[in-house]
Amino acid sequence: MPAYKREIDTRDLPSEFDTNTVNTIKRIEKNTNVVGIMHFHQNNVQLCTVPESMTNILINKLPSLTSIFQHSIGEITASLNEINPVVDRIMEDDSVEGVIMTNKEGIPILTNVNLMAATNHGLGMKRLGEMTKISTKEIDIFDDVLVLRLITKKIEIIVAPNKEFNIIVMQHARDKQKINKSNKQTKIDTKKLIKQ
């Protein structure tokens, strides 16, 4: 253990820590990249192995940072809880292949497709959306993009931009659905003819 690290004294460990927690902390502490561990309970330090030079700064700054972080997580969770029913309703449609919700940077927050595809779609649609918004403003400065709809050979992508997030819905292209329905109709008609 490097000289600047404090040794963990088992007597200093909070009583609520079970054996597994204590063993995990000791394992983490052995890592040479770890400077130290701090455990807060109701903004009071219960355990600290951080070097003394850093302790006072961290004790003063971490509780306020933690409360800001918790508040932010609470806001994100509340907005996700409002959006979840909408996403569930969208997913009920048989033609929908996937729904991706991204933050304003295009990073997926909520998705039912694999993360790599969600990230690619999120970043790609963010760039395309920005270009579309700029083009729309050049045509009419008072206009704005509400929904962006893109149809490819394989799928149809609908993007609903928002200040805080984007919702991307991917579904089967409607032309294919119409072709499939007309093919089914033709097959049914052919069967009727054969029976007659």
Mean pLDDT, residues 180-189 taken together: 52
115 vs 14: which has the higher pLDDT:
115
Which ranges in the chain are annotated with CATH 3.30.450.30? 93-196
Question: With contact defined as beta carbons under 8 Å apart, do 166 and 101 qualify?
Answer: yes
Over residues 31-78, the pLDDT tens digits come to 777 777 777 777 677 777 777 777 777 777 776 766 676 666 666 566
47 vs 4: which has the higher pLDDT:
47
Q: Which of 10, 177, 169 has its CA nearest to residue 87?
A: 169
Over residues 17-36, the pLDDT tens digits come to 788 887 887 788 777 777 77
pTM of the model: 0.48
Q: Which of 103, 98, 78, 87 has its CA nearest to residue 161?
A: 103
Over residues 132-150, the pLDDT tens digits come to 989 999 999 999 888 999 9
Q: How many residues can be counted in the chain? A: 196
Per-residue confidence (pLDDT) for residue 110, from 0 to 100: 81
- Decide if pLDDT at 98 tops 80: yes
CATH number of this structure's domain 93-196: 3.30.450.30
